[in-house]
Amino acid sequence: MQLHPLIASLLRLIVLVFLLPAAASAASLTLSRTSGPPTTAVVLTGKSFTPNSIVDIYFDTQQIAFRLTSSTGGFTYSTSISGSAQPGAHDFTVLPHVAGGKFAQTSFKVQTSWTSWRNGTGNRGWNKTENVLDSYSIRSLDTLWRAPMNTYSTPLVSGDIVVSVNNDSSLSAYSMKTHAKVYSIPGTTALADRVVAPVLANGYVIYAGTGKLFARKVSDGSLVWKAVLPPGVGAPVVSGSVVYVVAQGGAGAGVYAFSVTCRTGGATCTPIWHSEDGNSASYYFPERSLAVGYDRVFAILSNKLYAYDVGCATGGGICTSTEHWDTVDNTAPTVANGYVYVTYGTTLFALPPECINCGALWTGTLPEASSRVVAASGDQVFVVTGSKLVAFKAGCEASPCAPLWSTTVPGSSYSPVIASSLVYVASPRQLAAFPANCYADCKSVWHTSANATYSNANYAGPAIVDGKLLVSSVRNVIAYGLPESAQGERSRVKVAQLKPSPKFAKAERALLLSLARRH
């Protein structure tokens, strides 16, 4: 029986693949990034696979794509980590579509970070990639561990290290894996009033003292650089390669901008630029007086909101604010959803970032006066006002805008934070989680004991990282999580587990026939 010419060619191609001599080097697979949160964009690069052959690409046990290798056995593939990928190690595996070729495997570690009190330059207080805790799973939350860190500041997490500035201005770091101390740096200068939140960036922890700003390596605490400022230094914000900070109460009071990598070896850093809008006679420690977004720096100085263009000066020059808005609470702005959110008394203002003195695009009426920073997800904004948690549509079209809902929270609660479908609110005696799609006077879906004792500071709100809830108590940082989150990482995917997806069968068959015709 005579075979159809195309089928005969295909069989010859398969035989050729089997008979190809092994290359001198094994196939390899590398990633442009090896860790990051769900939805992280990555590029896979394969080398030394069988030349001019089809390879199947898997994420864990699911085939996600296929590629034709080059004449040298190479290929690239761009993708994003699945938004549902749970924290821990996940495997990328590349197998030959036709048996007999070479394969390779590499891992990507899914992990989220919480690198500032409000987790981002816009002060949104939102971990948008959290995918473990929701209204149902959080009911099983349990205490996982405690680290003896006497802090009034939100614990920050980068990689496997949790960092905190303590209320004696010392700096502590503990391992998220072993819960053991990595290092402790004694306070080099007393803080005049209270400990303000640090920020993690570029492998550094950057934090303030009285008239000082320090940058240390997160890994070992060694001093990288320092800066001398007016005494009232607020919480720093890092955007790109620049760290911004407010310093008041002395000559040169205003906003300062430094290069994150400005010096090494503990040398003193000089600013890229600074403004002169601050109060030189006195100062107030706002929890975080800056926000950066839409190519502008927004700073609250003496109850006024100032706007500066990013890169407005260089070489240590003076930066002049382009405009300002009167009058706001001495807390911090939130930049999100095309607005700059600020509060004053019982009013929430949503200002256009390109022209803050043009007036609010919309306002919201609050049930009580608020001095808390606004939290913002993609479709809602949340404000704590004394004993109420209030939610508004992120882009309301009315003015004043009516709240979507409000509910009662413990008195003196701090600024809220958001992760997945939950809004978290902390107070000195309780930590509670509410559904983001709440309703009037709804109840929390989870809360700690009403007799718990947490740090009595607005900037000591919780951090949500990899399905864990980290919060500062009076003597410890406490980690809450699901029981399974304390277990070890999953084992590596076995090649025998992998099966081609029917989704790609037709396209791969057509490509095989096309290759057969070429031969």
Task: Give pLDDT tens digits for 199-216.
Answer: 999 999 998 888 899 999
Owner of token pair 């005579």: 2
In this structure, how many other beta carbons lie within 10 angstroms of the beta carbon of residue 224?
Answer: 22
User: Within a domain: residue 118?
Assistant: no
User: Within a domain: residue 121?
Assistant: no
**Helix, strand, or coil (residue 306):** strand
Q: What is the pLDDT of residue 451?
A: 64
Q: Alpha-carbon distance 505 to 103, whole Å?
A: 19
Residues 390 and 502 in one domain: no
Residues 214 and 336 in one domain: yes
Owner of token pair 């614990």: 155
Residues 176 and 85 in one domain: no
Residues 413 and 365 in one domain: yes
pLDDT tens for the chain, 519 residues: list them: 454 554 544 444 444 444 344 444 699 999 999 999 999 999 999 999 999 999 999 999 999 999 999 999 999 999 999 999 999 999 999 999 988 888 999 999 999 999 998 999 999 999 999 999 999 999 999 999 888 877 777 899 998 999 988 877 788 899 988 888 999 988 755 444 456 788 999 999 998 888 899 999 999 999 999 999 998 888 899 999 999 999 999 999 999 999 999 999 999 999 999 999 988 888 766 555 899 999 999 999 888 999 999 999 999 999 999 898 988 888 889 999 999 999 999 999 999 999 999 999 999 999 998 888 999 999 999 999 988 999 999 998 788 999 999 999 987 788 899 998 999 998 888 889 999 999 888 999 999 876 666 665 656 788 999 999 998 877 788 899 998 654 445 678 888 889 999 999 999 999 999 888 876
Residues 378 and 319 in one domain: yes
Q: Are 96 and 103 in contact (CB under 8 A)?
A: yes
Owner of token pair 């060694």: 222
**Helix, strand, or coil (residue 106):** strand
Residues 495 and 482 in one domain: no
Residues 62 and 134 in one domain: no
User: Within a domain: residue 215?
Assistant: yes
Q: What is the pLDDT of residue 458?
A: 59
Check which CATH number belongs to the domain holding 90 and give it: 2.60.40.1930
User: Within a domain: residue 85?
Assistant: yes
Check which CATH number belongs to the domain holding 414 and give it: 2.130.10.10
Residues with Cβ within 8 Å of residue 295, at least 6 apart in sequence: 309, 310
Q: Are 388 and 382 in contact (CB under 8 A)?
A: no
User: Within a domain: residue 117?
Assistant: no
| Joined tokens for residue 201 | 């960036």
Question: Residue 6: CA atoms inside 13 Å, Cβ hemisphere, count?
Answer: 7
List the one residue out of 135, 10, 1, 173 whose CA is nearest residue 517. 10
Q: Alpha-carbon distance 198 to 154, whole Å?
A: 9
Q: For the sheet with 62-68, list strands across it.
A: 35-36, 104-110, 88-96, 54-59, 62-68
Q: What is the pLDDT of residue 427?
A: 84
Q: Alpha-carbon distance 110 to 128, whole Å?
A: 14
Q: What is the pLDDT of residue 20?
A: 45
Residues 202 and 54 in one domain: no
312 φ, ψ (degrees, to nearest 5): -70, -20
Q: Alpha-carbon distance 222 to 202, whole Å?
A: 14
Residues 340 and 475 in one domain: yes
Domain span holding position 148: 126-486
**pTM, to two decimals:** 0.90
Compute the CA torsion angle 96, 101, 106, 108 (nearest 10 deg): -10
User: Within a domain: residue 116?
Assistant: no
Per the structure, the count of domains in the chain is 2
Residues 99 and 155 in one domain: no
